[in-house]
Structure 1
Amino acid sequence: MRRSFLLLASLLLASLPLSAQTYAPPKYLVSDELFKAVAAEYSGSAAKENVKGITQFHRIQASPGFTQAREWVVSRLKELGVTDVEVEIFPSDGKIRYQTYTGPLAWTVRDAELWITKPFRARFCHYTRAPMCLTTLSNGGEWNGEVVHVGRGTSDADYEGKDVKGKIVLASGYAASVHRQAVIGRGALGVLIYPRAEDRPEHPKMVRYNGLWLKWEEKDKAGFGFQLSRNQAERLLGLLEKGQAVQVRAQVDAELHAGQLDVTSAFFRGSEKPEQEIILIAHLDHPQWSANDNASGSAALIEVARTLKKLIDEKKVTLRRTIRLMWVPEHSGTIAWLDKHRDIKERAIAVLNLDMVGEDIYQTNSRLRITRTPDSLPSFLNDLVENVAAQTAAANLTDPAGTKNLFHYEMTPYDPGSDHDMFNDGMVGVPALMLGHWPDWTHHTSEDTPDKVDPTTLKRVGVLSTAATLWLATADDEQALELALRIAANQRGEFFRRVPKARPGPLRFAEPQEPQVESRMGISPGMIEGSPQELWRRASQAERTVRSVEVLLTPGASRQLDFLSMEFGNMARMFETFTGQWQGRRPARKQTIPRRSFLGPLADSYASTWFLEQLGADHAWWEEQSQKIPHWDILVYETLNFTDGKRSLAEIEDAVRAEFGDVPDGAVERILRDLEKVKLVEFAPPKPE
C-alpha cells in the first residue's frame, strides 16, 4: 500500500465541500488493461454452444437427467484443461431434510402420452417431443378416466359438490397443490393443469413447467400430471361447459425413487490468501429446454472457467484469493452443500449468482437486473459490481454471432428466488448478488428455447462477472481502500440529499472522539425531510457497507476504515435518538433476544411442506399475511436475518420497519413465536430490570 495515496485522498476529502468532494480516482475500479484482457478472451458464441450442450438433458433435481448434465459439464471442463474439479453427492429422496428443505424424490422418465379419447381423438402431449408437457415427478402407469373441472383445485371449496374419485381433474392451480388435494386427498387418478386466462394470454400455445414435488410417503399414492396449453384447455372447457363428457387416456413410463443431489465445484487457487474464496454459482437444473433458465448461467460459467484458465496460463493475472465456480441443483443442492460446509462463512467473501443471463432482450422483453444484497447484509459488493456494470455498458461489447442490442441493466433492491438467498441468509452471511434478466414471458414454459439466447448478452454478463471476480481475487490494500473511499463518498452524497438543510463538514480521516455530532454536522430534527427512522436505516447501512471492505484488507490497513465509517456510525446513533424508538415499549421487548437454530431461508412452499405440516392450523395466518402484505416472503426472510442472537425483539422490529415501512403491529413477534413452536427459534428470557 502506498501511503501517499491515503494522504492525498484524505487531504482532498478534508478540504473540499460536499459538492466538490472528488479526489479524481480512475473512473472504474477494474483497470483498463484487465478489463480489455477479459473482454478479448470471453466468447459469447462459445457460451451459447455450451447452452446447446446443456439443453440436451431433462435436468430435474436429484434425477438421472441432472446427473447426465453434470457429467457433461465436468467433461467439458476437462476438455478445456480445467482439472481442479470436485463433485459432492448428497442423498435425496423426498424424506431427507437439509435444514427446513426436503430433498426431492428422484425421477426416471422415458416416455409419456396424453390422449383425448372422447368426444374426439387427439394426442395432447408426447413427452419425447415436448418434455415439459409431462408434469415433473409424475408416477408411472396407465390410466383411463373422465375429466372433471375443479377451477383452481387448490382448496377444499373447489371440490364442494364434486366427486373426483377415480376421475381426472382439470385445474388451473399449481400441480403439486392440486395433486395433493385431488389425488392424495380424494382418490383422483391424476391432474391436467392449464394456465389461467390472465397468465400470458398472448401465448395460447405455451405450456408451463409444474411439478408434483411428492414426499417419500406419497409416492405409492401418486398419480400423474400433464400440462396443457391455454388452447388445449379451452377446447376441453368448452365441451364440459356444454355438459359433454370428456374421456382421456394417460400413459407414463417412469419411476419414482431415491436419488442424489450433485454439486460441482471448479477451483482456481489463490497464492497469497487461498483460504479466501470468491464464488460464482449457477443452477444447472430445470426441464428440457429451459435455455435461459438456467442453461445460460451454467453455460456462462463454463466460459468463465475457460477465460480464467487462459488469462492465468498467459500470466495476465495472478490470483491472491481462490475462485470457486459452482453448478448446483437450485436451492436443494445449495442448502445441502451449505449444511455440510458450515465454515464457508469464514472463507467466502462474495458470491455472484448467474441465473437467466443470456436473453435476447427484444425477444423476451427483458433487461438485466442486478439484485443488491438485503438490508441485513450491507456490502461493498453492490458498489463494486455496479461500477463494473457501468464499465461494461460503456464498452458496448458485442459478439460476432450476436445482436447489436443496447445493454439495458439496472441495480435493484433485494429480490429472492434463487441461490443468492442461501448465501445472504443471516446464518451464512456471505454477501451475494444475482445477475439475471426479468421480466421474461418465456420463464418456466416450453417457450424458453435456445433460439432466445443471445451470444452478445452472454458476453456482456460473462465479462462483467469475470472482471468483477478477478478484481476481488487480485485486489490489494490500496485497491480495497480506494473502493472504501468511493463507498463513503457515494453514501455521504446520498445521505445529504435526504437532509438538504444540513451543513455537512468534510469527509475525513479523524479520530472517532466527537460526541457532539449534531453540532459538527449541523443537523437537528427540524431539518429532516422525511422519516428519521429512514435516515437511521441509511446511516447504519452506510457504516456497515464501509466496514464490509475490511475482509479485503490486511490488519494494519483495516484501521483506516474506523475513520471512514465513524461519521456514519455517529449519525446512526443520533437518528436513533430522534426516532424515539424505545418509547412506549414493554421492557421485555427490549431485553428478550430471539435466537435461530437453523441455517438457510425458511422453506415454506408446495415443494417443501415440512414447516406447513409442523405448524398445522397456525399456518393459516401465514397464508393470510402473504395475501395482505406486499413482499411477505422478503419480510419473513429479513426478520430471520435480523434474528442474529444479538438483537432484541424490539431491535428486530425496528430493523424490519425501517426496511419495509408499515408492518402490522405484532407481525414480527408472531413470525418468531410461530417458529418457536416448531423449535426453529428460541427466546432468551428477559433480563431482570
Structure 2
Amino acid sequence: MKKFKLLFLLTFIASFSFAQKSTAVDGYYPLLRAVYNGDNAYNTVGFVEKYWRIAGNTGFNESIFHVEKILQQAGFQKETSGEADGPLTYRIETRKMRRPTWEPVSSSLTIVGEDKPLLESVTNRNMIAINSASTPAGGTTAEIVYVGTGAAKEFEGKDIAGKIVFGETSVGGLYRNAIARGAVGVIGYSMPRYTQPEKNIHSIQFQGISYDSTKPVFGIALSFNAKEKLKTALAKGVVKVNVKVVSKIYWSDELTIVANARGTEKPGERFVFSAHVQEPGANDNATGVGTLAEMARVTAALIREKKYSPKRTITFLWGDEIVSTGRYIKDDSIRAKGIKWGLSLDMVGEDVSKTGGTFLIEKMPDPSAIWTRGNDKHTEWGGSVLKESDMFPHYFNDFLLNRCRQQAKGNDWIVNSNPYEGGSDHQPFLNAKIPGVLMWHFTDVFYHTDGDRLNMVSAKEMKNVGVSALAAAFTLCAADEDTNLFLIDELSKNANDRIQDEFALSKAAIAKGAKAGDEQKILNTWNDWYQKAFERMSDINTQGVTDKVAKKIENVKALLDKSVSDLVSLLK
C-alpha cells in the first residue's frame, strides 16, 4: 500500500498548490456577478410563462418577439447581410410548418347532473390535450365508457361509438384505440410517481393526441382528484359528461431567433447556447428563455464597455426544442465544423425548496453511464445503461462542473451532476459529435404540470446558472496559453479525484465478492476516458497548440496512466 499512500500525498500537494493559483477564469466571476440581474431573467419568465407555447402559436411567437426586444435594447443589430454585419447581431429565422399549430382557449369537464365542473382550464390549463379540436358551442355530452389501463383487450365487447372513452393511461394511448372505434373523445389519467399525485391532487401533466383534420375530436387529461371523483361516479352507474373545448388550429410559421457576439479573431469557431421556447411551464422552459436572454444582455454590455472581448463567437439560440438546435447544426456544414461546444439551458430556474429538485449538469456519456455508482445517480427521468462505444471522452463535463462549483463557493447553491440521459437540446450536439452538455433541475414534482408557474421560479437560481454558463463561455472563447495550462491542471485534479473514488468503490466491491477483473476494467475505462479528454484540450488556446500545452498534456496523461496502473495492481 506504500505506492497508494505516496500517490495520495502527491495528489494532495498538487491539489493544494493548484488551489492557490489566480487566473483569468477567476476574474470573470466578479465581473459577471456585478452585471447579471436575476430580476431581469425573472421578469422575462413572467412574460413567457403566461402563454401556452408550442411552435408556431401565439405564445411561442410572442416569446420570440419579446426576446428580440431584449436583444435590441442590449445593442444587438438585426442582420442584413449576415453575422459579419457587426460585433453584436441577431436574426429571426422563419420556416413554414409541416402541420398546423395549436393553442388552447378554454375548456371544462362536467358530470351531467352536477352543478360545478369537475375540471376547468382556468385552474387546470393542461387539461386539454394538444391538437384537441373545439366542441360545438354547447359542448359535447356523451356517456363515459371505462377501459381500465387502455389495453386493446379492455375495448373488447364494449360499444364505444359516439361515446367518450376513459382510461387510466395516457390520452395519446387511448386516442389510438378509441377513435378508430368511433369514440367522440377520450379522457385519460397518467401521472408519474415523482409528481406525487396523491399529494398534489390537482396537478395535470400536459399531453397530446395526433392531429387529424378529418376527425375533429378532443382529449382531456385528468388530475388525481378528478380521476377519483369520476371513478366514484362510475361505481354508482351510468355516467354522462359534458365536455366543452375551445381551441385554435391554424397554419403558421416556425420562428427561431439567433444572436451572435462575434469573435474578433476566430469568428468561425463558436460556443453555442440553446434554450427552447415551447412547453407551457415556467421552469420548463421559460426559465431557460429568461436566463439566456439576460446572458445575452450581459454579454453585449460587457463587450460594449470593452470589459470583455471574445476571440471566438458566442451564439445564443431560442427555438423549438431539439428541432431548432438540430437544424442550426445540420443546415450549414461549414458553420457546424466551427461549433466547438454546445450548452443547453432547460429548467434552470427552479426554487428547489418548492419543486424538490436540485441543479444538475447532465454529463456527456462517460463511464458513470455504464457503471452508475457512488455519488453518481440517474434522475427519476431515467437513463439506460450505455456501452463503451457510446462514450464521449471530453473535458467539457468537468470544465462546466468546475465553473458551477466556482460560482457556488460562498453561497448556498447546490451543484450536482447526473449520467447522460438525453431528451433535450444537448442531444443534437452529441448526435453531430460536438461536445454538448445540459444544465437543468430534477426531480421536479411539478414537471410538465400546470403547477409549474412563476411562483416556482427563483431569480437567484437563474443568476447562479447564468453567471456559471457565461464564465464557461467567456473562458473558452478568449482562452490563451496560461488559461489552457490552468485548465489542464484543473482537469488533472478532477481525474485523480475520480480515480481515487473509483478505486475505493472497487475495493469495497471486491470485499463484497465482486470480481477483481471487473473492477480493474472500470478503473482502466475511466483512465482511457480521461486520457482522451486530455488530448481534446489542445483545442482550447485561441492561438493554437503551443509547446508548453503539448508537453503539459503528455505529462498529465503519463502521470494519470502510472497512477491508475499502480492502483489497478492493488485490486486483487
Which TM-score applies when normalising by structure 2? Answer: 0.82
CA contact (8 A) 1:164 1:187 kept: yes
CA contact (8 A) 2:110 2:119 kept: no
- Matches of 2:476 and 2:22 in 1, distance apart? 14
CA contact (8 A) 1:91 1:260 kept: yes
The aligned runs of 1:229-244 (5 Å cut-off) are: 229-242=223-236, 244=237
Aligned identity (percent) is 26
- Matches of 1:128 and 1:240 in 2, distance apart? 25
Q: CA deviation at 1:210?
A: 1.0
* Aligned mate of 1:90, from 95, 109, 122: 95
Give the aligned CA root-mean-square deviation in angstroms: 3.1
- Matches of 1:444 and 1:350 in 2, distance apart? 28
CA contact (8 A) 1:365 1:441 kept: yes
- Counterpart of 2:388 in structure 1 is none
* Aligned mate of 2:101, from 102, 106, 114: 106
- Counterpart of 1:388 in structure 2 is 403
The structure-2 alpha-carbon separation of the partners of 1:25 and 1:259, relative to structure 1 and needing over 3 Å to count, comes to: same
* Aligned mate of 1:374, from 340, 344, 365: 365
- Matches of 2:156 and 2:134 in 1, distance apart? 29
Amino acid at match of 1:369: L
- Matches of 1:251 and 1:392 in 2, distance apart? 50
CA contact (8 A) 1:269 1:319 kept: yes
> Once the two structures are superposed, what CA deviation does each residue of 1:475-530 show, in whole Å capped at 9, x if it has no partner?
11221122123223432453356568xxxxxxxxxxxxxxxxxxxxxxxxxx9675
The aligned runs of 1:69-468 (5 Å cut-off) are: 69-83=63-77, 84-94=89-99, 105-109=100-104, 111-127=105-121, 130-142=124-136, 143-153=140-150, 155-183=151-179, 185-195=180-190, 198=193, 199-212=196-209, 214=210, 218-242=212-236, 244-287=237-280, 290-375=281-366, 376-396=391-411, 406-425=412-431, 428-468=432-472
CA contact (8 A) 2:399 2:491 kept: no
The structure-2 alpha-carbon separation of the partners of 1:407 and 1:497, relative to structure 1 and needing over 3 Å to count, comes to: closer
The structure-2 alpha-carbon separation of the partners of 1:485 and 1:33, relative to structure 1 and needing over 3 Å to count, comes to: closer
Ranges in structure 1 where 5+ consecutive residues have no aligned partner: 1-12, 95-104, 397-405, 501-526, 579-689
Q: CA deviation at 1:65?
A: 2.8
- Counterpart of 1:474 in structure 2 is 478
The structure-2 alpha-carbon separation of the partners of 1:160 and 1:26, relative to structure 1 and needing over 3 Å to count, comes to: farther
The structure-2 alpha-carbon separation of the partners of 1:362 and 1:281, relative to structure 1 and needing over 3 Å to count, comes to: same
- Matches of 1:161 and 1:333 in 2, distance apart? 46
Mapped pair 1:63 → 2:67:
no
- Matches of 1:197 and 1:437 in 2, distance apart? 17
CA contact (8 A) 1:48 1:455 kept: yes
- Counterpart of 1:581 in structure 2 is none
Q: CA deviation at 1:35?
A: 0.9
> Once the two structures are superposed, what CA deviation does each residue of 1:139-158 show, in whole Å capped at 9, x if it has no partner?
233332111111232x3123
CA contact (8 A) 2:52 2:103 kept: no
- Matches of 1:316 and 1:352 in 2, distance apart? 23
The structure-2 alpha-carbon separation of the partners of 1:305 and 1:172, relative to structure 1 and needing over 3 Å to count, comes to: same
CA contact (8 A) 1:44 1:458 kept: yes
- Matches of 1:240 and 1:437 in 2, distance apart? 39
Q: CA deviation at 1:108?
A: 4.5
- Matches of 2:558 and 2:154 in 1, distance apart? 59
CA contact (8 A) 2:275 2:289 kept: yes
Ranges in structure 2 where 5+ consecutive residues have no aligned partner: 1-5, 78-88, 367-390, 505-514
- Matches of 2:560 and 2:337 in 1, distance apart? 25
Q: CA deviation at 1:221?
A: 2.3
- Counterpart of 2:523 in structure 1 is 535
- Matches of 2:98 and 2:287 in 1, distance apart? 28
The structure-2 alpha-carbon separation of the partners of 1:292 and 1:64, relative to structure 1 and needing over 3 Å to count, comes to: same
SS in 1 for 2:284: helix
The aligned runs of 1:588-667 (5 Å cut-off) are: none
- Matches of 1:144 and 1:30 in 2, distance apart? 68
The structure-2 alpha-carbon separation of the partners of 1:485 and 1:543, relative to structure 1 and needing over 3 Å to count, comes to: same
The structure-2 alpha-carbon separation of the partners of 1:383 and 1:468, relative to structure 1 and needing over 3 Å to count, comes to: same
- Counterpart of 2:46 in structure 1 is 52
Amino acid at match of 1:86: R
Q: CA deviation at 1:569?
A: 9.6
- Matches of 1:562 and 1:460 in 2, distance apart? 31
SS in 2 for 1:531: helix
CA contact (8 A) 2:275 2:346 kept: yes
- Counterpart of 1:101 in structure 2 is none
Q: CA deviation at 1:203?
A: 0.9
> Once the two structures are superposed, what CA deviation does each residue of 1:215-259 show, in whole Å capped at 9, x if it has no partner?
5xx3322510122222122111111122x2222222333344444
CA contact (8 A) 1:498 1:528 kept: no
Size of the aligned set, in residue pairs, is 510
Moved more, 197-206 or 373-382: 197-206
- Matches of 2:62 and 2:415 in 1, distance apart? 34
SS in 2 for 1:539: helix
Which TM-score applies when normalising by structure 1? Answer: 0.68
Amino acid at match of 2:519: S
The structure-2 alpha-carbon separation of the partners of 1:19 and 1:74, relative to structure 1 and needing over 3 Å to count, comes to: closer
The structure-2 alpha-carbon separation of the partners of 1:203 and 1:306, relative to structure 1 and needing over 3 Å to count, comes to: same
- Matches of 2:98 and 2:250 in 1, distance apart? 7
The structure-2 alpha-carbon separation of the partners of 1:116 and 1:407, relative to structure 1 and needing over 3 Å to count, comes to: same
- Counterpart of 2:533 in structure 1 is 545
